Amino acid sequence: MKIVVIGGTGHIGSYLIPRLIHAGHEVICVSRRQRDPYHTHPAWNAVQQVCIDRAAAEEKKEFGSQVKALQGDAVIDLICFTPESAAQLAEALTGSVRHFIHCGTMWVHGHSEQVPTTEAQERKPFGEYGINKAKIEAYLLSLHRENNFPVTLLHPGHITGPGWLPINPAGHLNPEIFIRLSRSEEIVLPNIGMETLHHVHADDVAQAFEKAIVHREAATGESFHVVSEQALTLRGYAIAMAAWFGKEAKLRFLPWPEWKKTVSERDAELTWDHIAHSPAGSIEKAKRLLQYDPQYSSLQAVQEAVKYYFEQGNIPARIPTAKN
């Protein structure tokens, strides 16, 4: 099968494209060519690289036709963030593609209400990112119902892996939290640390995209969560990471209005987004219809990313050598 991957040099694509080549597919990677894949792999020698600046092409109303001209049997879109962008591409591909797979987000659900959250639960998104992704989902599924557009939507959680810092136990991206845990220094968490985060390793996300292609008939017209088996509470996450470093977690808690004053404005903004959503998604549907089988727990995915960060930065710490 000829597969076009849009945004293929990003974190998901760095794992997905070698998987597709190994499975025997012909792969075209569409990107701006502003970065190399996160990880080198011999499979990239077999990939056709096509350079397109999506924003510029969309401005000229040419992106959809440019992707259509590549004549892919399947198109995987990893970098679509607005309904207008989704519509331009989907309309161009209607009637000419066997399978279209869109990368969404768990944030289409908004606040978690009943957990684990299933794909069937009502969408109540908030924030520009979640609202736009929910609109894209609704549009693409309506296109499937009305025109039999062969779409599948995959909704990852907090993607991580080597080269991509994970959302930390305080709900933001500052690596200092992991450094302090490695030294058994105190960290301060918002509220009582019972909000949740749901990580997923980038290779498990890649696995889900590959399996959606394999199980195309079951996947078409459906949305799926792509996360690890279990979410983590902030408190449990911090305790587990300290233990991984061979230390005891020293935790203190502050109510949100006080806690947000202890960090930068950007860190507070990220934390609020993450704890307000507190995702905890079910993967039963993906396991049943796609045979999705995540190889990493949330902690394992995080630990691999943190290990890479510490090694690259020559940060001294006791770090286990194996995934555990």
In this predicted structure, the answer to whether residue 39 has a pLDDT above a threshold of 80 is no
In this predicted structure, the answer to whether residue 324 has a pLDDT above a threshold of 60 is no
- pLDDT value of position 13: 95
Count of residues for the chain? Answer: 324
Same-domain status, 46 and 174: no
Q: What is the largest CA-CA distance in the chain?
A: 58
Is the separation of the CB atoms in 33 and 49 below 8 Å? yes
Banded pLDDT at 35 (limits 50, 70, 90): low
The mean pLDDT value for 41-66 works out to 95
Same-domain status, 27 and 47: yes
CB atoms within 10 A of CB 122: 7
Residue 322 lies in a domain: no
Residue 143 lies in a domain: yes
The mean pLDDT value for 270-274 works out to 98
What CATH code is carried by the domain that includes residue 259?
Answer: 3.90.25.10
In this predicted structure, the answer to whether residue 62 has a pLDDT above a threshold of 90 is yes
Residue 175 lies in a domain: yes
- Selection from 34-38, 39-43, 51-55, 319-323 with the highest mean pLDDT: 51-55
Residue 176 lies in a domain: yes
Q: Considering its fold, how many domains does the chain have in total?
A: 2
Residue 286 lies in a domain: no
What CATH code is carried by the domain that includes residue 55?
Answer: 3.40.50.720
The mean pLDDT value for 135-163 works out to 97
Q: What is the mean pLDDT of the chain?
A: 96
pLDDT (tens digit, 9 = 90+) per residue, 175-213? 999 999 999 999 999 999 999 999 999 999 999 999 999
- pLDDT value of position 50: 96
- How far apart, in whole angstroms, are the C-alpha atoms of residue 181 and residue 189? 12
Same-domain status, 62 and 147: yes
What range defines the domain where residue 40 resides?
2-159+199-226
The mean pLDDT value for 207-221 works out to 98
In this predicted structure, the answer to whether residue 34 has a pLDDT above a threshold of 90 is no
Same-domain status, 115 and 51: yes
Tokens representing residue 270 in the block: 């990220």
Same-domain status, 203 and 247: no
Residue 324 lies in a domain: no
Same-domain status, 141 and 191: no
Same-domain status, 210 and 254: no
The residue whose two tokens read 């696995």 is 207
- How far apart, in whole angstroms, are the C-alpha atoms of residue 169 and residue 195? 10
Q: Which of 30-39, 131-140, 167-176, 178-187 has the lowest mean pLDDT?
A: 30-39
The mean pLDDT value for 124-145 works out to 98
Same-domain status, 136 and 248: no
pLDDT (tens digit, 9 = 90+) per residue, 92-128? 999 999 999 999 999 999 999 999 999 999 999 999 9
pLDDT (tens digit, 9 = 90+) per residue, 225-239? 999 999 999 999 999
Banded pLDDT at 318 (limits 50, 70, 90): confident
Residue 33 lies in a domain: yes
Banded pLDDT at 322 (limits 50, 70, 90): very low
Same-domain status, 218 and 234: no
Banded pLDDT at 323 (limits 50, 70, 90): low
Same-domain status, 129 and 205: yes
Same-domain status, 187 and 124: no
Residue 48 carries which side chain, given as an amino acid letter? Q
Same-domain status, 235 and 220: no
Residue 54 lies in a domain: yes
Sequence-distant (≥ 6) Cβ neighbours of residue 105 within 8 angstroms: 129, 130, 133, 155, 156
The residue whose two tokens read 């076009």 is 4
